[in-house]
C-alpha cells in the first residue's frame, strides 16, 4: 500500500466545530439563518467562518406519491480542539431535505456521502436520492449541455429525511486558512489539510458534523442511518464505530454502496503487491459479467448472467485460487488449462493470459477486452466504452463512464443549487479536490484496539467493532455486477470474513444489480435500489415503536 500505484488506486475510488444551528420557533428543522446575499461580503474565510444556510420548499413525486419538503442548503463550521478550541477551521457544505408534516423526533434521517477520497456528494445527490435527478445516457456518452433535470421518481425522501454532506474542502466548503499574508495562509492551509485529509481525521470531521447537525435540528431521537458510496463505505466503517463508541450515537442502519473495506483486495494496482492473489480471484466474476455484456463469450452467448456468475465464482474460489497459490510450482500443463478456462470466462486470448502469468489487473482487463477495435472498457461501469487514448498501452488511460456523465452531474447541480435552492451565488462549487496539487490523503489508520496502523488500509475491524458495540445495528450491502472499481464479489468476501460472532451475521443483507459502481446510473437498478433501501429503513426504524 506504500507504493505509488496502490496510492493511486486508493485515491481514485470515486467514482464525499462552531456553535450548532439554533432552531427557530417555526420548525425544528429550520436553523437560525444568514441571508444568502450576505455571502457576497468580505473574504472567503470571513464569509465561511460562520454557518450559512438558505431554506426553500418544494415537492417531489416518489413512485406516484407526492411529498412536500423543506430544503436547506448551507455550510456548517467545525472549530479546532485543544489550543485551537473556538477557532473555526473547516466549513463543510451540505444540502438537507425534510419531509413536511412529519414528526421530526421519530422520522428517520440518513446522512449521505460519496467517497474518492476527495469527492463531494454531487453524485448521490443528483443521481440517486435527491428530489431532482439529472438525465444521462444508460451506457454511452451523454451529449453536452443543456442537460435535463427531472422529478426523481425514486428519491429516498419517502422513507427518510436526507442530508447530503460534502467532504471538507469540497462542495462550497473550505479549509479555513488563517494568516496575515499569503505565506502565512499557505502554511495554515497545509496544517489544516494534514489535520483533516486522512482516514481517521475525515471520520472525526463527519462525526463532528453529524452530532452538531442533529443537535441544531433536534434530531437526537430520530432513527439514524449512514449511506456511503465507494470510499464512503470505508468512511462508514470508521464513522459508525466512532459515532457509537465515542459520541454515544447508536445507529439503526448502515448502507454500503460499492463497498471497499480492505484495500489489499483491490484489483487496481494488484500487480504491485506480489504474493497477494485474492484480488484476481475476487475480480473474476466481474470480468466474466463484463465480457458477457460485450458479447466476448461465445460459449455463453444467449445465456442468462446469473448462472454464469455462479459458475465463475465456483471456479475462481477453487481451481483458479489453488493455481495462483501454487506460484512457480504450478505445473505447465495445469497452467495452460487454467488459462484456457480463463479465456472462456474473460474473452482474453490464452497467449495474453499466459504472458500475464494468469494475473490480470483491472486496468489491463479494461484496456485489452476490446483492444481489437481500439476501444477501452469502463472501470466504474464496465458497460461503458470509449476510444483508447493509446491502443498500445498496457492499461487504460481514463475511465469512459466518468467521462460520459461527469459534466452532466456537475453542470446540473451548479444550476440547480443556485436556481432552486438559492445558495452558492458568488461561491465556487468544487466537485472534488482529488488531483489538486495540495491534496494528499493520509492512509494511516488505527483500527479499534490497535495503537499503530499496520499494512494496507483495512477497516473491516471498525465495522465489526461497530456491530459488536451495537448488536442491533443492521448493515445493507449494495453493488453492481459491472463495477471494476469495487468488484461485488470482493465485497461479499469482505463481509464473509468480517470478525464478528455468527449471531451477528444475520444483521447483514445484500442486493446486487445489473449496473456499475454508480448503480443508480441505470434507471431500472435505481428503482430496485430505492425499494430495497426504503424497505431496509422501514424494517429497522420501528424497533421501539417509531413511525414515519
Residue-level pLDDT at 163: 98
φ, ψ for residue 266 (rounded to 5)? -70, 135
Mean model confidence pLDDT for the chain: 88
Residue-level pLDDT at 548: 45
Residue-level pLDDT at 11: 39
- Pick the more confident residue, 546 or 532: 532
- Is a pLDDT exceeding 80 seen at residue 303? yes
φ, ψ for residue 267 (rounded to 5)? -80, -10
Residue-level pLDDT at 415: 96
Residue-level pLDDT at 37: 34
Alpha-helix residue ranges (DSSP H) falling in 246-326: 278-293, 305-315, 321-326
Lowest mean pLDDT among 179-188, 287-296, 382-391, 478-487: 382-391
| Percent above pLDDT 70 for the chain | 87
Q: How far apart are CA 430 and CA 132, in angstroms?
A: 20
Residue range 420-443: mean pLDDT, rounded: 91
- Is a pLDDT exceeding 70 seen at residue 96? yes
Residue-level pLDDT at 83: 66
User: Using one digit for the tens of pLDDT, what is the confidence trace for 142-165?
Assistant: 778 788 999 999 999 999 999 999
Place of cell 489508520: 445
Residue 372 CB: number of other CB atoms within 10 A?
Answer: 9
Residue-level pLDDT at 111: 98
Local confidence band at 24 (pLDDT 50, 70, 90 cut-offs): very low
Residue range 499-512: mean pLDDT, rounded: 97
Residue-level pLDDT at 133: 96
Residue-level pLDDT at 137: 74
- Residues 441, 409, 51: CA angle, nearest 5 degrees: 60
Paired with 174 in beta bridges are 91
- Is a pLDDT exceeding 70 seen at residue 285? yes
Local confidence band at 15 (pLDDT 50, 70, 90 cut-offs): very low
Residue-level pLDDT at 4: 38
Residue-level pLDDT at 449: 73
Q: How far apart are CA 71 and CA 55, in angstroms?
A: 6
Residue range 63-87: mean pLDDT, rounded: 89
Grid coordinates representing 104 are 421530526
Residue-level pLDDT at 395: 65
- Is a pLDDT exceeding 50 seen at residue 107? yes
Q: Which domains does the chain have, with CATH numbers?
A: 4-264+407-540 (3.40.50.1820), 276-401 (no CATH)
pTM more than 0.95: no
Residue-level pLDDT at 455: 74
User: Using one digit for the tens of pLDDT, what is the confidence trace for 187-222?
Assistant: 988 999 999 999 999 999 999 999 999 999 999 999
Quote the distance between the C-alpha of residue 214 and its chain's center. 22
Residue-level pLDDT at 86: 75
Grid coordinates representing 396 are 487504460
Residue 38 contacts by C-beta under 8 Å, 6 or more apart in sequence? 47, 52
449 conformational bin, left if phi > 0, alpha if psi -120 to 50, beta if neither: left
User: Which residues in 221-256 are b (16+ Cβ under 10 Å) and which e?
Assistant: ebbbbbbbbbbbbbbbbbbbbbbbbeeebebbbbbb
Residue range 424-433: mean pLDDT, rounded: 93
Local confidence band at 82 (pLDDT 50, 70, 90 cut-offs): low
Residue range 15-41: mean pLDDT, rounded: 35
Residue range 91-100: mean pLDDT, rounded: 97
- Is a pLDDT exceeding 50 seen at residue 23? no
User: Using one digit for the tens of pLDDT, what is the confidence trace for 348-374?
Assistant: 999 999 999 999 999 999 999 998 788
Residue-level pLDDT at 20: 27
Residue-level pLDDT at 456: 87
CA neighbor of 384 nearest in space, from 397, 365, 403, 357: 403
Residue range 1-9: mean pLDDT, rounded: 38
- Pick the more confident residue, 422 or 2: 422
Local confidence band at 180 (pLDDT 50, 70, 90 cut-offs): confident
Local confidence band at 297 (pLDDT 50, 70, 90 cut-offs): very high
Collapsing DSSP states into helix, strand and coil, what is residue 163? strand
Q: How far apart are CA 33 and CA 269, in angstroms?
A: 47
Residue-level pLDDT at 398: 54
Amino acid at each position: 500500500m506504500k507504493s505509488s500505484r496502490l496510492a493511486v488506486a486508493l485515491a481514485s475510488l470515486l467514482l464525499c466545530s462552531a456553535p450548532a444551528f439554533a432552531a427557530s420557533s417555526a420548525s425544528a428543522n429550520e436553523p437560525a439563518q444568514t441571508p444568502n446575499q450576505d455571502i457576497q461580503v468580505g473574504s472567503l474565510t470571513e464569509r465561511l467562518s460562520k454557518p450559512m444556510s438558505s431554506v426553500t420548499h418544494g415537492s417531489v413525486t416518489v413512485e406516484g406519491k407526492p411529498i412536500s419538503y423543506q430544503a436547506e442548503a448551507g455550510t456548517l463550521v467545525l472549530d479546532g480542539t485543544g489550543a485551537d478550541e473556538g477557532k473555526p477551521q473547516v466549513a463543510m457544505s451540505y444540502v438537507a431535505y425534510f419531509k413536511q408534516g412529519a414528526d421530526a423526533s421519530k422520522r428517520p434521517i440518513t446522512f449521505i456521502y460519496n467517497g474518492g477520497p476527495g469527492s463531494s456528494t454531487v453524485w448521490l445527490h443528483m443521481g440517486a436520492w435527491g428530489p431532482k435527478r439529472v438525465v444521462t445516457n444508460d451506457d454511452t456518452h451523454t451529449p453536452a449541455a443543456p442537460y435535463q433535470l427531472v422529478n426523481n421518481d425514486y428519491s429516498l425522501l419517502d422513507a427518510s429525511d436526507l442530508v447530503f454532506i460534502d467532504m471538507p474542502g469540497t462542495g462550497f466548503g473550505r479549509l479555513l486558512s488563517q494568516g496575515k499574508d499569503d505565506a502565512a495562509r499557505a502554511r495554515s492551509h497545509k496544517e489544516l489539510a494534514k489535520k483533516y485529509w486522512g482516514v481517521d481525521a475525515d471520520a472525526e470531521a463527519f462525526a463532528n458534523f453529524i452530532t452538531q447537525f442533529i443537535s441544531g435540528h433536534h434530531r437526537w431521537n430520530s432513527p439514524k442511518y449512514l449511506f456511503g458510496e465507494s470510499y464512503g463505505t470505508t468512511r462508514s466503517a470508521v464513522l459508525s464505530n466512532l459515532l457509537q463508541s465515542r459520541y454515544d450515537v447508536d445507529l439503526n442502519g448502515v448502507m454500503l454502496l460499492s463497498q471497499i473495506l480492505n484495500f489489499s483486495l483491490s484489483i487496481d494496482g494488484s500487480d504491485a503487491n506480489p504474493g497477494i492473489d485474492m484480488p484476481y480471484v475476487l475480480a473474476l466474476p466481474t470480468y466474466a459479467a463484463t465480457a458477457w455484456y460485450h458479447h466476448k463469450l461465445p460459449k455463453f452467448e444467449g445465456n442468462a448472467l446469473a448462472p454464469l456468475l455462479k459458475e465463475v465464482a465456483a471456479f475462481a474460489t477453487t481451481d483458479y485460487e489453488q493455481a495462483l497459490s501454487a506460484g512457480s510450482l504450478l505445473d505447465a500443463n495445469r497452467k495452460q488449462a487454467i488459462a484456457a478456462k480463463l479465456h472462456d470466462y474473460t474473452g482474453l486470448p490464452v497467449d495474453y493470459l499466459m504472458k500475464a502469468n494468469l494475473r490480470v489487473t483491472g486496468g489491463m482487463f479494461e484496456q485489452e477486452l476490446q483492444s481489437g477495435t481500439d476501444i477501452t472498457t469502463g472501470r466504474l461501469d464496465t458497460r461503458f466504452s470509449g476510444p483508447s487514448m493509446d491502443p498500445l498501452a498496457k492499461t487504460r488511460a481514463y475511465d469512459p463512464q466518468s467521462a460520459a456523465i461527469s459534466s452532466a452531474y456537475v453542470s446540473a447541480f451548479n444550476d440547480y443549487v443556485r436556481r432552486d435552492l438559492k445558495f452558492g451565488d458568488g461561491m465556487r462549487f468544487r466537485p472534488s479536490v482529488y488531483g489538486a496539487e495540495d491534496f494528499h490523503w493520509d492512509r494511516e489508520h488505527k483500527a479499534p484496539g490497535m495503537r499503530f496502523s499496520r499494512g494496507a488500509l483495512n477497516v473491516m475491524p471498525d465495522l465489526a467493532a461497530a456491530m459488536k458495540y451495537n448488536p442491533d445495528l443492521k448493515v445493507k450491502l449494495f453493488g453492481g455486477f459491472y463495477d471494476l472499481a469495487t468488484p461485488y464479489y470482493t465485497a461479499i468476501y469482505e463481509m464473509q470474513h468480517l470478525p464478528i460472532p455468527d449471531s451477528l451475521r444475520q444483521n447483514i443483507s445484500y442486493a446486487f444489480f445489473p449496473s456499475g459502481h454508480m448503480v443508480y446510473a441505470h434507471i431500472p437498478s435505481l428503482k430496485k435500489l430505492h425499494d430495497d433501501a426504503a424497505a431496509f429503513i422501514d424494517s429497522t426504524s420501528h424497533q421501539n415503536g417509531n413511525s414515519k
